[in-house]
Amino acid sequence: MADWDRQRSRLADRLRSRVSDETVLAAIASVPRHRFVPTDRRHDAYTDRPLPIGSGQTISAPHMVAIMAELLDLSPGDQVLEIGTGCGYHAAVTAELVGPENVYSVEYHASLADEACDTLEVTGYGDVSVRAGDGKQGWSEHAPYDRTYLTCAAPEFPGPLVDQTRDGGVLLAPLGDGQQRLIRAEKQADGTLNRADHGGVRFVPLQ
Ligand code: SAH
């Protein structure tokens, strides 16, 4: 077994204390995080912490990606909208769970979107769709989504994202200006959100 593979399966094992969904742990054990981080950070790719990825942005810590995947309760075939592609790592983990062709991701910085596309392509997740633009507007062409999540912190769930999520679907985001809370919301038939607070978190702000 190659050293990267060994490090990655050890990381997935360590996350078992925080995440019980075995399909999520298998996804973490599959996605080559070292291919997504900048070359000079590769040695840290399988430590459980966020890393800088350029343009002042960061790749989330693996445990946060795993916790979000578990909270989203993803199944094969779910249509998923991600806001904040970054380096594409989180999108790849989601792709493991729902299938790459079902993942749509919007990234504000065109340079990051381009790089993420290239990395997703060479790592076998080329069917993930990435677009550069303002994630607050969502991606209406492929709506409705079963699941919508943000990897950057917003004051509130942006209206277009709520609209583009189907009734009975789930939204997940870090919400708050200063102190952020990870909020999971189920969209009710009347369009209102049924929220649950999953604790304090720290993400880069939505632009
Ligand atoms: N999921 C990413 C983590 C990205 S950090 C990964 O696995 O690497 C959050 C990302 O959100 C950054 O790349 C940032 O540029 C992006 N972002 C911030 N505001 C945004 C907006 N309004 N629309 C889309 N993306 C945004």
Query: Tell me: the pLDDT tens digits for 56-73?
Result: 899 999 999 999 999 999
State which fold the 4-201 domain adopts: Rossmann fold (3.40.50)
Single-letter amino acid, residue 156: E
Once rounded to an integer, what is the mean pLDDT over residues 193-198? Answer: 98
pLDDT tens-digit series, residues 147-156: 999 999 999 9
- Give me the pLDDT at residue 1, please: 61
Q: Report the nearest-CA residue for atom 17 of ligand 1.
A: 84
8 Å CB contact between 139 and 164: yes
Q: Report the nearest-CA residue for atom 2 of ligand 1.
A: 86
Q: Best substitution site from 81, 123, 164, 206 to test ligand 1's pocket, by max atoms within 8 Å of Cβ?
A: 206
Nearest ligand 1 atom, CA 82: 1
pLDDT tens-digit series, residues 98-128: 999 999 999 999 999 999 999 999 999 999 9
Q: What DSSP line would sit under the chain, residue for residue?
A: --HHHHHHHHHHHHHTTT---HHHHHHHHHS-HHHHS-GGGGGGTTSSS-EEEETTEEEPPHHHHHHHHHHHT--TT--EEEE--TTSHHHHHHHHHH-GGGEEEEES-HHHHHHHHHHHHHTT-TTSEEEES-GGG--GGGPPEEEEEESSBBSS--HHHHHTEEEEEEEEEEE-SSSEEEEEEEEPTTS-EEEEEEEEE--PBP-
Q: Is the CB of 146 under 6 A from ligand 1?
A: no
Catalytic residues, by residue number, are 60
Main-chain dihedrals φ then ψ at residue 35, nearest 5 degrees? -80, -15
Residue 145 pLDDT > 80 = yes
Start-to-end CA span in the chain (Å) = 41
Q: Is the CB of 158 under 6 A from ligand 1?
A: no
- Give me the pLDDT at residue 11, please: 97
8 Å CB contact between 73 and 170: yes
